[in-house]
Amino acid sequence: MLDIISFIFLYDILFKNYMTSILEELSDMLETISHMKSEEFFSTIDDTIFSKLQSQTTKLTNILISQNKEIKEEKNKIKSLISDIAHQLKTPLSNIKIYSEFLQDDNLKEDERKEFNNIALFSLNKLTFLVESMIKMSRLESGVIGLKLERDSLNETVLLALCQVQKKARNKNILIGLNEVDNSMINHDKNWLAEAIFNILENGVKYTKDGGRIDITIKAYEVFCRVDIQDNGIGISEDEFPKIFSRFYRGRNIGDAEGIGIGLYLSREIIMLHGGYIKVSSNKEGSKFSMFLPIS
C-alpha cells in the first residue's frame, strides 16, 4: 500500500514538473509571435499535438512578419508620396502667392503687370495639371478605375493619341510618321490606352529638337500587338532605364524642359492594367518606347 502511495506521489510530482515544463515552452513559443520570431521548441520529428501547434504558430508568425513588412512598406510609400507631392506643389504655389502680391501694387507699369500676370497664370496652369495628374495617379493606384475593355482598333486608338499631340509637334516642326497594320483589333479601354500613348508621344515631342522626327510603328502578332514610338531626341542613359517609369522621376539630360515626371509612370500603370508591359531602349540619337499589349 505504501508503495502505491509513494508511486502516486512521485507520479504527481513528475507530471506536475512535466506540465510546468510544457507550459513554459508553450508560453515561450507563443511569446515568439509577439516578437515575430520563429523558433523551434518541440521536435518536428515527433507527430505530437505540441509539434503540430508549433507548426501552426510558425505559420502564423510568418504571416504576421509578412503583413508587418507590407505595412511598413506601405507607410514608406505614403511618406514618400506626401514628400513628393509637397515638393511638386511648393514652387507653383509660391509663385502664385509672390506674383499675386506683386500685382496688388498700384504703381506697377503695364508691361510689368502683364509679365507678372503671365507668370502667375503659368504657375496656376502647372498647378492644375499637377493636381489632375495626381488624381489620375491616385485613381490608378487605389484600383478605383475599372477599365472598360472592348474589342477595338489599336490603329484608331493610336490616332486618337496622335491628334492630341499634333499641334505641339507642328509648333516645333516635328514630323510624326505612322506605320499601321491591317489587323490591330485588341481588347482595350480606348480612352485610357490613348492617354498612355499620348504621354509617351508628348514626352517625345518635348525632348526632340525642332525639325526632328518621331516614328510610330504598330505590329500585330499571334497573341499580342506591339507599338514602338521612336524619336531622335536627347536619348536616355542606360543606367536610367529602371528609373524612367518611376513616379516623379525626371532624366538627367532634360535641362529646363517643362514637366513633373509623372507621364511615363501613368503610361506604365495603364499598360500594366491592360495586362501588357512597356520597355525603353536608347542610343545617343533618341529613344524607343515599346508597348506590348495582349490581343485578348
Residue 269 and residue 141 in contact, taking contact as beta carbons nearer than 8 Å: yes
- 179: exposed, middle or buried (Cβ count in 10 Å: 0-12, 13-18, 19+): exposed
13 and 82 housed in the same domain: yes
- Half-sphere exposure for 295 (CA within 13 Å, toward CB): 11
Kindly write down the DSSP assignment for every residue of 139-202, as one continuous string. Answer: HHHHT------EEEEHHHHHHHHHHHHHHHHHHTT-EEEEE--S--EEEE-HHHHHHHHHHHHH
23 and 94 housed in the same domain: yes
74 and 160 housed in the same domain: no
Spatial distance between the Cα atoms of 176 and 283, rounded to a whole number of angstroms: 19
158 and 288 housed in the same domain: yes
53 and 112 housed in the same domain: yes
Among 145, 163, 196, residue at a domain's last position = 145
List the CATH number of the domain containing 29. Answer: 1.10.287.130
122 and 203 housed in the same domain: no
Among 89, 118, 145, residue at a domain's last position = 145
Among 145, 163, 180, residue at a domain's last position = 145
Query: Mind listing the pLDDT tens digit of every residue in the chain (296 residues)?
Result: 555 666 566 656 665 666 666 666 666 666 666 665 655 544 555 566 666 666 777 777 777 778 878 888 777 776 776 776 777 677 778 888 888 888 888 888 888 888 888 888 888 887 887 788 778 877 777 777 778 889 999 999 999 999 989 988 999 999 999 988 877 899 999 989 999 999 999 988 988 889 999 999 999 998 999 999 999 888 888 888 888 888 777 766 665 566 667 888 889 999 999 999 999 998 777 899 999 999 88
136 and 233 housed in the same domain: no
Give residue 90's pLDDT. 78
139 and 240 housed in the same domain: no
List the CATH number of the domain containing 268. Answer: 3.30.565.10
Total domains in the fold of the chain: 2
Q: Which residues span the domain enclosing 262?
A: 150-294
199 and 270 housed in the same domain: yes
Residue 215 and residue 200 in contact, taking contact as beta carbons nearer than 8 Å: no
C-alpha cell at position 77: 510609400
165 and 132 housed in the same domain: no
Query: In terms of DSSP H, where are the helices of the chain?
Result: 2-34, 49-102, 110-142, 154-171, 190-206, 263-273
Give residue 62's pLDDT. 76
Residue 234 and residue 244 in contact, taking contact as beta carbons nearer than 8 Å: no
Residue 151 and residue 186 in contact, taking contact as beta carbons nearer than 8 Å: yes
Kindly write down the DSSP assignment for every residue of 52-65, as one continuous string. Answer: HHHHHHHHHHHHHH
Spatial distance between the Cα atoms of 142 and 269, rounded to a whole number of angstroms: 11
Residue 280 and residue 295 in contact, taking contact as beta carbons nearer than 8 Å: no
118 and 181 housed in the same domain: no
136 and 166 housed in the same domain: no
Give residue 113's pLDDT. 84
Give residue 196's pLDDT. 93
